[in-house]
Amino acid sequence: MGDTESFWQSALLSRGRFLGLGALAVIGAACGGGKSETGGGTSTPAASTGGAAAPPPSGLEQELRIYNWAQYIDPASEKAYAKELGVKVTETNYGSNEELFTKLQTTKGQAVYDIIVPDADHVRIEKDLGLLLELDHEQIPNLANLAPHWTQLPYDIGNVYSVVKDIGITCMAYRTDLIKQDLKSWKDFFDYLPSTPAGVRVNVIESPSEIIGVALNSLGYSMSTEDDAQLEEARKLLLAVRPFIDTINVLDIDDMSSGKIHMAITYSGDGLRAQAARAKQNDFTVVAPEGLSEIWIDNWSISAFAPDPKAAHAWINFILEPKNNAREMLYHNYEVGTPDSFPLVGDLATNPLIVFGDRILNDYEILKTTPSGLEKRIKIWDEFKAA
């Protein structure tokens, strides 16, 4: 079947052809209507597609336990699911894929979580360790709403253990009234940190592999490298800039929006939500770095030890309704896997920081680590945080 990289490139090319030939024509027609809100919070899609909701599955459990990144599901989606299916939803949060992975390992065999949201790298790792439940496609008829390229991703061809939640990039964001230099690449970003003006507060997301990854990218290396010399260069770079980083926190949307954070390594959707919140000031930019950087895919998966597996399948099926995924897209500012959602979200569907163009699809890489590579990164991360 070829190597992983070839399959990934094939999926990206298929997606590019799909958008170019079909979906964007639909988007263009939709964007002639009312303009959508893009600043996060509860939103309602402009229209609905699809028929009436299917009746609740028989034998459905009465509770759904979601373990997820914070501020990553529209609360209106959880309320709508609870109302439609009569299931109580509870959500707890983690701050990194590494934290999710650790919790899944330490609670192995315990009925703790139903829905979880690993990235592509961790789907690949966790399924091989028996931490993910094999999906019953008969319980997810709305899989038919996925674009074909999102069903052939190399880490889980055929959606055996995962369904794409959304697609984003790791990017930089900063206040243009305070940072006067035009930062275009990760090298620009790291080179600039020692000269940040007094009072400028810098935050990076609390995600070891990604922060170490973009440091590697700034040096011209792949973020997935296993080379000890390259990792050592990244370690030295991160320790050199650590005095100029004020906080390490994945919960950065509110602080970027309020002006408490002025410069950040963040996720594209979070940066766009902060930018929208500061639209009146018009002083905040979100940059997709030139050259090497990360494109990532987060996924809906079910814990292998889920106490409520039918409710979990029903959640994935619910989200894959185009109107429900459109609500999610409006909330978090990321591309979703159901193209029939695009006509419902207005301008978001043509934003190049949400539905990515060829430069990002061709130049960016998807993270792929090994257990030994992850261990090396955790050691670097611990030293970086403690410095």
Give the three-state DSSP class for 297.
Answer: strand
- pLDDT value at residue 282: 97
Provide the mean pLDDT of the chain: 88
Residue 38: pLDDT band with limits 50, 70, 90: very low
- What residues form DSSP beta bridges with 242? none
- pLDDT value at residue 133: 98
Listed by start position, the domains of the chain span 4-45+59-165+298-355, 168-294+368-386
Cα separation, 214 vs 206, in Å, equals: 13
Is CATH 3.40.190.10 correct for 168-294+368-386? yes
Give the model confidence (pLDDT) of 130-153 as tens digits: 999 999 999 999 999 999 989 999
4-45+59-165+298-355: CATH topology is D-Maltodextrin-Binding Protein; domain 2 (3.40.190)
Give the model confidence (pLDDT) of 52-87 as tens digits: 455 667 789 999 999 999 999 999 999 999 999 999
pLDDT over 60 at 47, yes or no:
no
pLDDT over 80 at 7, yes or no:
no
As a dihedral over the C-alpha atoms of residue 56, residue 62, residue 68, residue 71, rounded to 10 degrees, the angle is 80
The C-alpha R_g of the chain, in whole angstroms, comes to 20
- What residues form DSSP beta bridges with 299? 164
- Stated pTM of the model: 0.85
Give the model confidence (pLDDT) of 254-272 as tens digits: 999 999 999 999 999 999 9
Is 4-45+59-165+298-355's fold the same as 168-294+368-386's?
yes
